A and B are shown apart, each in its own frame.
Chain A
């Protein structure tokens, strides 16, 4: 769900996983190659979904009231008279030149739509991951330091809740409670209606744009709107990050060098943060990267609930309108960001760990 919960659950030691991958590309060129191959795989999948599964993709575009003539024109225009592998090559070529086709529902090029919707998603997911780290890491460390205590159990249950609560449900309940009942936060959307469109987009991120323009009122209004969806997203990354942090920390705390530090008479706080936590900062980066990528995915559900004009919302709207170009374009962009974040956190691992240098 919000985070890629299935693959996240019992993640093998990210060290092992990333070392396996790192060995695959010991050179920068190799890195670009794996990235390229993975991306090609993504394209193959979206191509397969878009052109092969639908019984008649032409019909999907022209609609069933089109004449045979219109149908044939569309078929040739879409290049569907070509053999499949030719179609794939031209598809790849189009994607690399930024041509993702036209969206049927908005009537604009998909790539244009996506660049307009992306900043909103980016803004929310980034705030979400910040919340997740700020709370999740201390929770995980505390749970590990007090393994077996009631606090540890409580944190464990919170962690498992992160795998069991539907993100869209949590969003709805949050809206009902904090917006409708308590009036603590703003409702759906990025701004109250009368502030809408007052800030000229620069980065597309309202928090930043409003500050750039010095519009403090708008900034606080935007904060009141973004805080709930970001917190819901944050909860899921928090659960995952806390769980992984705890598991890494337990691993470290059972190491001999932690005993060494205790033998030296180092205070427990220093033992935990300097000796046990420092070595896990690097694997944690991989975890945070994975979790961040997962949030981009999770935002699909959250944006639907909060009417947040981001890529997820764009995707679900397109899904319901059977607007395949838009669906595949959004899938491609989210997939690509996902892949890039994954790979970057793998590389960071190698750069930051003194043992791997």
Chain B
């Protein structure tokens, strides 16, 4: 493999509380090429914080440290806020969970997408418009001219998330972080949205970090999987090798996955005592 796109070594994120600083990410390390990496974990396992610290979006009083946090040879932690702005959007982008909250309610869809583009490239107005229409097409929106004029509350959740993807991919970044991109959506449109992300990422040869609590979904769309628990990586394996996972937490998660045509007397429960203290 060529030089990795992203190298993370011993990443730690902590927040102050009444009882002292609490680490939510405790020494995370991984590397990423132009591939699709899945990060799986339950709520509070630190997976979202990992995504945000790559974009240096953790604001005070939160604190991020790492032995190494390098994106394409750039040391993220030493970048100034201004330098970071040149990276955010243009080179690393992020799709967030719920389009209901992640789209600005008082700007039209078109304005918001345009903003993502013109922040990084100075283009004549007509070209901007053409790029927006083209991008909306790419996320399978049929009548982009109309949709661009709508406000976010006027579109459905699935459409909102596709708009979000269009907005995040229009400056053609090299790495996309998708933070629970489908958890807020109806089951019926989840696959569609992920297919779109998948297709665009592959076509443009981008790196993808898919953050989710859904092991099944991640194993379907990713090449490699990190399983996180309590701020640490407990398992790292290729998507195909998931059945061979060793760690009791991963095994527990796998056991909890429902299988069609099966009847269970009792639903399995994670027995956390097995890895407590790791």
Binding site for B on A (CB under 8 A): 148, 255-257, 259-268, 274-275, 278-279, 353-355
| B100 to chain A: closest residue by CB | A256
| A264 in contact with B88 (CB, 8 Å) | yes
- A278 touches which of B93, B107, B120 (Cβ 8 Å): B107
Binding site for A on B (CB under 8 A): 55, 57, 60, 81, 84-90, 93-94, 96-98, 101-107, 115-116, 119-120, 151, 153, 164, 167-168, 171
- A263 touches which of B57, B86, B106, B153 (Cβ 8 Å): B57
- New A-B contacts (18) at CB < 8 Å, excluding given A256-B98, A353-B106: A256-B96, A256-B101, A256-B102, A257-B101, A257-B103, A259-B57, A259-B102, A260-B167, A263-B88, A264-B93, A264-B115, A264-B116, A264-B168, A265-B89, A266-B89, A266-B119, A267-B85, A278-B107
| A260 in contact with B96 (CB, 8 Å) | yes
Shortest CB–CB separation between residue B61 and chain A, in angstroms?
8
CA of A353 to CA of B105, assembled, Å = 10
Q: A353-B106, A354-B105 are in contact. Are A265 and B57 (CB under 8 A)?
A: no
- B88 touches which of A255, A265, A354 (Cβ 8 Å): A265
For the complex of A and B, 10 pairs with smallest distance between CB atoms: A265-B89, A265-B88, A256-B101, A264-B89, A256-B102, A257-B104, A264-B116, A265-B85, A263-B94, A279-B106
| A259 in contact with B96 (CB, 8 Å) | yes
| A263 in contact with B119 (CB, 8 Å) | no
Using Cβ atoms and an 8 Å threshold, which residues of chain A touch B115? 261, 264, 266
- A261 touches which of B60, B104, B105, B164 (Cβ 8 Å): B104
| A263 in contact with B93 (CB, 8 Å) | yes
CA of A262 to CA of B52, assembled, Å = 11
CA of A109 to CA of B84, assembled, Å = 70
Using Cβ atoms and an 8 Å threshold, which residues of chain A touch B164? 260
Using Cβ atoms and an 8 Å threshold, which residues of chain B touch A263? 55, 57, 88-89, 93-94, 96, 168
Shortest CB–CB separation between residue A279 and chain B, in angstroms?
5
| B86 in contact with A265 (CB, 8 Å) | yes
Using Cβ atoms and an 8 Å threshold, which residues of chain B touch A255? 101
